[in-house]
Amino acid sequence: MNDKRSQYVQSLIKTLKRDFRETAGSTGIEAPDERVLEAIRKVPRDRFVPDRDMGMAWENTALSIGYGQTISQPFVVALMTQLLELTPESRVLEIGTGSGYQTALLGELAGEVYSIEVVPELAAQAETRLRELGYDNIRVRSGNGRRGWPDAAPFDAVIVTAAAEDIPPALVEQLRPGGRIVIPVDTGWYGQDLLLGIRTEDGQLDTRSVLPVVFVPLVGKEGGK
Ligand code: SAH
Q: What is the pLDDT of residues 100-153, one digit of tens each?
A: 999 999 999 999 999 999 999 999 999 999 999 999 999 999 999 999 999 999
Domains of the chain, first to last: 3-213 (3.40.50.150)
Neighbouring-strand partners of residue 199: 205
DSSP3 helix / strand / coil % (the chain, rounded to 5): 40, 25, 35
Q: Is the CB of 161 under 6 A from ligand 1?
A: yes
Using alpha carbons, select from 192, 202, 204, 133 the residue that is nearest to residue 166: 192
Q: What is the pTM (predicted TM-score) of this model? A: 0.97
Query: CA-to-CA distance for 220 and 170, rounded, in angstroms?
Result: 14
Span from the CA of 44 to the centroid of ligand 1 (angstroms):
20
Q: Is the CB of 96 under 6 A from ligand 1?
A: yes
Between residues 190 and 27, which one has the greater pLDDT? 27
Give the 3-state secondary structure of residue 19.
Answer: helix
pLDDT at residue number 84: 98
Burial of 2 (0-12, 13-18, 19+ CB in 10 A): exposed
**Ligand 1, atom 13: closest residue by C-alpha:** 98
Using alpha carbons, select from 26, 7, 27 the residue that is nearest to residue 15: 7
Q: Is the CB of 99 under 6 A from ligand 1?
A: yes
**Can you tell me which atom of ligand 1 is nearest the CA of 126?**
8
Query: CA-to-CA distance for 38 and 136, rounded, in angstroms?
Result: 19
Span from the CA of 15 to the centroid of ligand 1 (angstroms):
25
Span from the CA of 2 to the centroid of ligand 1 (angstroms):
31
**Can you tell me which atom of ligand 1 is nearest the CA of 65?**
8
Query: CA-to-CA distance for 181 and 205, rounded, in angstroms?
Result: 9
Instruction: Give just the sign of the alpha carbon dihedral 96, 100, 101, 102.
Output: positive
Q: Using only C-alpha atoms, what is the Rg of the chain? A: 16
